[in-house]
Amino acid sequence: MQNNNPTVLIPFNFDFESQAALDFASKHVKDYKYNIILLHVIERSEKLAEVIVKDSVIMQVKEELKHKVDKLIKEEGVEVKIVVKTGKPYKEILKTVDELGAGFILMGTREHEEKAITNPKLGSVAGKIIRYSPVPVITFREGNLDYVRNILLPLDFSKRTGQKVNQAIKIAKAFDATVHVISIVWKKKEKIGKRSLALMEKTVKKIESEGIKTKHEFISTDGGGRKMFLIEVLKYAHNNNIDLIVIMTQSEKPIIKYFIGKSAFGIIRKSQTPVLTITPKYVDSDYMA
C-alpha cells in the first residue's frame, strides 16, 4: 500500500457475508482511516494446476469488484486495492496478507462453516484462515457487524496473553473503542483467583497507559471448566453491549483449563457478537510471562 494507514483484507465471494464486510468497511473508513484490499479467489484444485483460468474471466471479475467500490473510492477518497487470484482460497488469502501487508482480515461466517471451524479435519476456509493467519481475523455472523465501540478482552495465564493484549490495544486505537477486561475464575481455586486479579490489574494499567479507556470485572463462578468460561464470556458480551470479543485460537498449554483453552472455537461458534481471533506467536518471552 502507498501510505501508513492500517489495511484490512476482505475476502469477497459476492455473497451476503462478504458484502456485509465491505459495507462495514465503507461505513467507517473515513473515521478509522484504513485502506481496503478486496480479494476474490477463483477456486482451482491444486491437482489441476495445469488448467489456466482465462485472462478474460479474471478481467470480468475485476470489473465486477471495481463496480462494487467505485462509489466508495470517489466519495471517500479511500485507497481500495482489487486483487483476483486463482487457487486454494485460504492459501491465496494468507499469501495476500503477507504480500500486501494487511493488518487484519474481515470476513463473515455461516452456520455450516462455524461447525467446521471447531473440527480441524473439516475443510472450512474460515477455519483454516483462523488457525493459520499471521494477523488477527475478525469473523461475524450475518447482520451483527456495526460499530466497534466496546471490545471484550477475557484473560488467561498463557505466556502469549501479552500478544492478545497488544492486539486489543491496536484494535482499540483503530476504532477508538473502550476495552472491557474480565477475568473468570472458579471460586474453589483461590490461588488462581489471586493471580488472576493481579494479572487483570496489570493489564488494565498497560492498556490505560496507551490512552485507551477501560472497564474491568473480576467474575467468580460456582462452576469451572470450558463450558462455564464460554457461558460467562457470552453473558458479559450480551449484558454490556460488546461489539467485538478478542480471543486466542489456542493457549500455550492446557495449564488452566478453567480459562480459554479450546473454548475459543466455542466462542466463535456460539457468539452473536463479532470475534477477533489471534494465533499466538511462539516466542521465548511475553510481557505477562
Rounded distance between C-alpha atoms, residue 164 and residue 153, angstroms: 8
* pLDDT at site 252: 40
Closest CA to 23 of 237, 109, 15: 15
* pLDDT at site 288: 47
Q: Provide the whole-model pTM.
A: 0.80
Domains of the chain in start order, with CATH, are 7-140 (3.40.50.620), 150-278 (3.40.50.620)
pLDDT digit string (tens) for the chain, length 289 residues: 344 567 889 999 888 888 888 887 777 766 666 788 999 998 865 444 445 556 777 888 888 888 888 877 766 667 788 999 988 899 999 999 999 999 889 988 765 444 444 444 434 788 788 888 888 898 887 656 677 899 999 987 666 778 889 888 988 887 889 999 998 887 766 667 778 888 889 999 999 999 999 999 988 887 766 778 888 999 999 999 999 999 887 644 443 333 334 667 778 878 888 898 887 765 444 544 3
Residue entry with cell 468460561: 229
- Give Cβ neighbours of residue 181 (< 8 Å, ≥ 6 apart): 153, 155, 200, 203, 204, 207, 214, 215, 216, 217
Number of H helices, E strands in the chain: 9, 10
How is residue 105 written as a grid cell? Answer: 482480515
* pLDDT at site 120: 45
* pLDDT at site 100: 92
Rounded distance between C-alpha atoms, residue 119 and residue 111, angstroms: 13
* pLDDT at site 169: 92
* pLDDT at site 111: 54
